[in-house]
Amino acid sequence: MDLTLTGEEEDFRRRLRAWLHDTLPGLPPEPPADDWPARRAYDCAWQRALHDAGYAGLHWPADAGGRGATPTQHLIFIEETERAGAPYVGANFVGLLHAGPTIAAEGTTAQRARWLPPILRGEEIWCQGFSEPDAGSDLASLRTRAVRDGDSYVITGSKIWTSHAEVADWCELLVRTDPAAPRHRGISWIALPMNAPGVTVRPLRTLAGTTEFAEVFLDEVRVPATHRVGPENDGWRVSMVTLSYERGTAFAGEVVACRRTLARLARTARANGRWDDAVLRRRLGRLHAEFTALWRLVQWNVSEAAHAARTGGDGVPGAGGSVFKLRYSQARQELYEAAADVLGPESLDARQEWTAQRLSSLSYTIAAGTSQIQRNIIAERILGLPKGR
């Protein structure tokens, strides 16, 4: 992996930095965290601004409507937008970071033409319908059924922990299409329109007080068979493409944000006298090393995927994404535990951003597959250990 920037990449960074400098001061204030209709409008407007400036879908292939940028340019984009304090991808994250790339990799020409442009223009929001009650991260245990009826599927079941479902237009949905098949077969990946008759969304309030998650109930929802992405009963393989993007690159921007948060935490410690504690200084120093190493791991994962694409592979991030996800989840929690020690009693104030982030960090060892699932993937696919031991 060569981390030396070319002249073209340096120029890309310079032009992006200038655009952010000119654009960000004109943005309206961010809406309240729990006002999802307003947040949808805000996030979509930011995505539209990126699209109009030529920065939408930077890492997507050009024939899917993206810019076809190099992996290094993609990482420069993440670094510069985070450093400038640009809006987070927000409600667009499922569409942009894993549903869109999955459709680009596995969809038909018609499916790519229908679903990818509205994602890039910030016109349609996607959510993810993978997790189910009583199944957790064991996706192969899913029970939501899709029964073929002519040119349609009739879907019945429920999903849980569905981010942004209440404002989503589409859902990347996993369903069981052959109940007689083994657990990892007989599954299909379907694009579900969230306004279809029979779809009910019930928001869930989290420990942090937000409602970004929801339960989704599906009561004989009829979906055209043309909305299936990939062959029927091959959804397990397609879902692995989705999860590879989710674990391999979707959290990359958050690593840069954590490094910025850590620097802010160190400044706070110097200001309130906690910096005099040598144990605390070592703790913050170790976290700095952790997040630096995680960023290098992101660079390695992206570089490996790009190398695979150049040599005839599919360009999908590999199992290294599970190594990143496993360690990042823990490091993020440790960051906000350190913040509590720096802030003292102030960290218990529920109105403070630090408090909300600390509570939110607890979910990261569950989101996008539990840490135990990541350990199993690492054991089996990287270390080559036998299953079930």
In DSSP notation, 118-169 reads HHHTT---EEEE--BTTTBT-GGG---EEEEETTEEEEEEEE-S-TTGGG-S
Q: Is 246 a catalytic residue?
A: yes
Active-site residue, selected from the candidate residues 132, 246, 254, 304: 246
Q: Which amino acid is at 177?
A: T
Asked whether the beta carbons of 39 and 28 are under 8 A apart, the reply is no
341, exposed or middle or buried, with CB in 10 Å at 0-12, 13-18, 19+?
Answer: middle
Question: DSSP string spanning 179-243?
Answer: TTS-TTSSEEEEEEETTSTTEEEEEE--TTS---EEEEEEEEEEEEGGGEESSTTBHHHHHHHHH
Q: Please give the Cα distance from 101 to 106 (Å, whole number).
A: 9
Q: What is the Cα–Cα distance from 332 to 309, expressed in whole angstroms?
A: 31
The residues annotated as belonging to the active site are: 246
